[in-house]
Amino acid sequence: MTVLDNWQLRDETGAWSLDVRCPFDAVSALVAAGHCPEPYDGANEAAVRWVAERDWTLSCEIADPGGATELVLTGLDGMVDVLVNGCHVLRADNAFRIWTVDMRDALQPGRNRIELCFRSVVKAAGERQAAQPVYIPYHEGNCQIPNINMLRKQQCDFGWDWNIALTPFGVSGQVQLRDPDAVRFEHIGLRQEHHDIETESVSLHVRAELANVADGAAVTLHFADRQRDATVHDGVAEATFFIEVPQFWWPAGQGAQPLYDLELSCGTAIAHRQIGLRRIEHICRPDDHGAGFKFRVNGRDVFAKGANWIPADALHGRIDRTAVRDLLQSAVDAHMNMIRVWGGGRYEPDWFYDLCDELGLMVWQDFMFACNLYPADLAFLDNVAQEAREQVSRLHHHACLALWCGDNEILGMLREFPEARANRDLYLVMYDRLNQTLERALRAVDPSANWWPSSPSLGPLNYGDAWHEDSSGDMHIWTVWHENKPFSDYREMAPRFVSEFGFQSYPSMEVIRRHIAPEDRNMSSPVMDAHQKDPGGNERIVATMMREFRLPGRFEDLVYLSQVQQGLAIKTAVSAWRALKGQCWGTLYWQLNDTWPCASWSSLNHGGSWKLLHHMAQKFYAPVFVTVAPDGFGDKFMIINDLPDYVNVSVQVAAVNMQGQMRPLADVQVSAWPSRALDLFELPHGTLEKDEIFVYTWQADQDGEKAGSPVPAGCAGGDFFAPKPWKEYDLLDPEISFNILEKDGVFEVVLEASALALFVTLEADQPGRFSGNAIMLLPGSLATLTFTPQTARGTPTFTIRNLFSATYGDAQ
């Protein structure tokens, strides 16, 4: 196939014209060419709006294409009419589909002109809404620009409660020419059959659909050092590989991720796939509580630990593989084993799922529908069915792919939109048609796929409230953030699986400095407001802070404390639900990453650096983890073991006062099984003095057959827990001193405190990765944090913060 690479983009007025290469989005291209200000800086968002409010044409000239007379277009992001030498050959209205055009009737000898006419997406969305037989509601809080639900493109493109509304459009894939008569693989259906767990053997069934081949043509397949020769019959060639002793693919933390190459060839047509051999079962059996929700991988129940994935940038033209790899690597580094590709974004490119295969990140994949209602006419449903079939065909073979889910939060919207409340029959039936369309399309392409109708959902055909009902299915628990409940409210729920819960913080100072001018660095400045898309979000952050902490006086301390607070909120939730292991089987917090620099629920900053939540996640998602579960009687210490086997653990608990004086309380040895969380002991209320908190450490070593083999990372740890809000403690100035040593471009910072120091955090004036942060220091013991700069640029200047420096001292 020939890639058409050199294009010219011009607007309807003729005022703007620029050269672009696919993939691109128009907003990024105009910014890069200096025609628009950087939209992520200051309050520039509005200055870029005009781009999507007009029509644009993308054109290129090609020489006589010879036999390559078919146009193949992927990622056509917008409402696009395709013209060849002025002849209309296609209207494309779905960014998630592959479009093909036979150009033979329109081509001419010599040079040919191809034009992609992009109708303003803002106008097109409004026109489509006006043409609907009934109004189709969309979430007005999320969609700052109306009617995104009319368009099959990324739903967060018109804004979201974390996204800038830049309405990008363009080509996120490629435009290519191909010979319509050449042999090609249209679809490669792959199905793994895992035989009984004793023998562990696996059959890989391959069913290749080909175009332009005669019956009897030969297809050669190579897999795992084996070769099969198949013959085409009715355009299909089939083969099975039997692997007696497979190397299984495992989620991160459970084992390795071996990937086998599969190659198919038929004449000049060649296709490749990377295959991880694994069985992922989605188990939702009725039980005493309701119905469970868990993933079983290769026969082993795996607690899903992770976060929600949103697009890596608000402008798809800015997304690149290296930066995405870094984000996904950060997820794995924080002991995550699953991400949810959320339904308001996009089906990610192939390389994204390749990375997840390599890293051992299971993917919960939503179909791209979120928080809005959608049309249910046949043309729309046909379009969606085709989209779903193509996406499942493209992605179903990935080892990482654990679950397909119909949408994000539409069931809640059916209760929220006044139109849907007034006419539930109509909108529920429309919704069900969409949902059934997706399920059918999925099963037609991959009958063995795991399917879940919606997130959250109590289960198939149950349209109840999975935001508050914890007996079955997956939950979105938003009581703390959206309903302003205290952190302890997380403990009131006994969910089976939590696929969303979150708490906002501000981006790190290193990010703020890049995009917010010094004079705007005030929490309620209009520019900071412009970087907060959740109405009331800033108030929620500060109001919660007033409940939990003494309020900082300086902007930078407030930013820091917002991240400590976010970390504590999510840690409270994860600790509570990991402690229900056996009944609850997963926590995916909202959200892993950011699309632009803004106040949000993310644990990674835009650009990939770690917020304090991510550092805390690395600890609270550790495979062996000790936690405190307060109840009416006292504080119960519990241990969770996510390793594949049991471990022997010793746990030491002490009371520590603000000076840092320790009073040992308990020292126990236990054998911790992976199947469920284990109670260690309970210390009654009154165990601690007024100025004391709990400090505890643990060390695990593997027992049984594995004795002597190295214990994986994350098996020894330490933590601290305050049973009262932090503002009730009279902290002392820990007078932290530090020494910096440089070794091969990595900076070691050795820290020492004179009193108990809490949430001690280093910041650098350049991008890079710290080995840890938000740590506790006890007087008399040194702690070392390392900083690895992103690029070598001289010795960084470090700033050190802790709870005392932010909320006492100068702040008062």
Residues near ligand BMA, by CB under 6 A: 160-162, 344, 370-371, 408-409, 476, 500, 590
Closest contact distance (angstroms) between CB of 357 and ligand BMA is 25
Q: What is the DSSP letter of 4?
A: -
Judged by beta carbon, residue 188 or residue 411, the one nearer ligand BMA is 411
Stretch (H or E) spanning 539: helix 537-548
Closest contact distance (angstroms) between CB of 594 and ligand BMA is 12
Judged by beta carbon, residue 249 or residue 590, the one nearer ligand BMA is 590
Within 10 A of 197 (CB to CB), how many other CB atoms are there? 10
Judged by beta carbon, residue 371 or residue 564, the one nearer ligand BMA is 371
**Which residues on neighbouring strands pair with residue 702, listed in sequence order?**
647
Judged by beta carbon, residue 370 or residue 599, the one nearer ligand BMA is 370
Side chain identity, residue 138: Y
Stretch (H or E) spanning 720: strand 716-721
Closest contact distance (angstroms) between CB of 248 and ligand BMA is 33
- Which candidate, 61, 12, 52, 46, places its Cα nearest to that of 30? 52
Dist CA 637 CA 623 (whole Å): 16
Closest contact distance (angstroms) between CB of 399 and ligand BMA is 26
Q: What is the DSSP string of 726-786?
A: GGGS-------EEEEEEETTEEEEEEE-SS-EEEEEEEESS-EEES--SEEE-TT--EEEE
Closest contact distance (angstroms) between CB of 540 and ligand BMA is 11
Judged by beta carbon, residue 409 or residue 719, the one nearer ligand BMA is 409
Q: For tokens 């994935």, what's the residue? A: 309
Closest contact distance (angstroms) between CB of 605 and ligand BMA is 17
Closest contact distance (angstroms) between CB of 163 and ligand BMA is 8
Closest contact distance (angstroms) between CB of 162 and ligand BMA is 6
Judged by beta carbon, residue 219 or residue 371, the one nearer ligand BMA is 371
Alpha-helical runs (H) found in 303-423: 321-333, 350-359, 378-395, 410-416, 418-422
- Which candidate, 367, 362, 363, 353, places its Cα nearest to that of 324? 353
Judged by beta carbon, residue 371 or residue 757, the one nearer ligand BMA is 371
- Which candidate, 208, 156, 148, 150, places its Cα nearest to that of 183? 208
Closest contact distance (angstroms) between CB of 307 and ligand BMA is 12
Closest contact distance (angstroms) between CB of 409 and ligand BMA is 5
Judged by beta carbon, residue 161 or residue 763, the one nearer ligand BMA is 161
Closest contact distance (angstroms) between CB of 49 and ligand BMA is 21
Judged by beta carbon, residue 331 or residue 445, the one nearer ligand BMA is 331
Judged by beta carbon, residue 459 or residue 502, the one nearer ligand BMA is 502
φ, ψ of residue 574 in degrees (nearest 5)? -65, -40
Dist CA 432 CA 373 (whole Å): 11
Q: What is the DSSP string of 100-161?
A: EEE-TTT--SS-EEEEEEEE-HHHHHHHHHHTSSS-----TTT-SSS-GGGSBS-GGGG--S
Judged by beta carbon, residue 164 or residue 271, the one nearer ligand BMA is 164
Judged by beta carbon, residue 371 or residue 509, the one nearer ligand BMA is 371
Closest contact distance (angstroms) between CB of 652 and ligand BMA is 39
Per DSSP, the three-state class of 83 is strand
Dist CA 407 CA 367 (whole Å): 5
Handedness of CA 512, 513, 519, 521 (dihedral sign): positive
Judged by beta carbon, residue 590 or residue 696, the one nearer ligand BMA is 590
Dist CA 224 CA 241 (whole Å): 9
Judged by beta carbon, residue 555 or residue 590, the one nearer ligand BMA is 590
Judged by beta carbon, residue 390 or residue 409, the one nearer ligand BMA is 409
Judged by beta carbon, residue 67 or residue 535, the one nearer ligand BMA is 535
Contacts of 85 (CB under 8 A, 6+ apart): 106, 107, 108, 112, 113
The encoded tokens of residue 449 equal 């796929």
Q: Is 524 left (phi over 0), alpha (psi -120 to 50) or beta?
A: alpha
Judged by beta carbon, residue 167 or residue 454, the one nearer ligand BMA is 454
Closest contact distance (angstroms) between CB of 66 and ligand BMA is 48
Closest contact distance (angstroms) between CB of 382 and ligand BMA is 27
Judged by beta carbon, residue 344 or residue 768, the one nearer ligand BMA is 344
Stretch (H or E) spanning 440: helix 424-445
Q: For tokens 């696009």, what's the residue? A: 80
Dist CA 568 CA 576 (whole Å): 12
- Pair type for strands 451-452 and 401-405: parallel
Within 10 A of 224 (CB to CB), how many other CB atoms are there? 16
Closest contact distance (angstroms) between CB of 590 and ligand BMA is 5
Residue 808 CA: distances (Å) to CA of 545, 702, 766, 773, 801:
14, 44, 27, 20, 12
Dist CA 126 CA 380 (whole Å): 16
Closest contact distance (angstroms) between CB of 259 and ligand BMA is 31
Count of H-run helices and E-run strands, the chain = 15, 45
Residues 114, 83 contacting (CB under 8 angstroms): yes
Closest contact distance (angstroms) between CB of 372 and ligand BMA is 10
Dist CA 626 CA 637 (whole Å): 7
Q: Determine the distance from the C-alpha atom of residue 544 to the mean position of all C-alpha atoms in its chain, rounded to a whole number.
A: 26
Within 10 A of 792 (CB to CB), how many other CB atoms are there? 7
Residues 152, 121 contacting (CB under 8 angstroms): no
Give all strands (DSSP E) within 12-107, no chain letters: 17-20, 24-25, 56-62, 70-74, 76-77, 79-84, 87-92, 98-102
Closest contact distance (angstroms) between CB of 478 and ligand BMA is 6
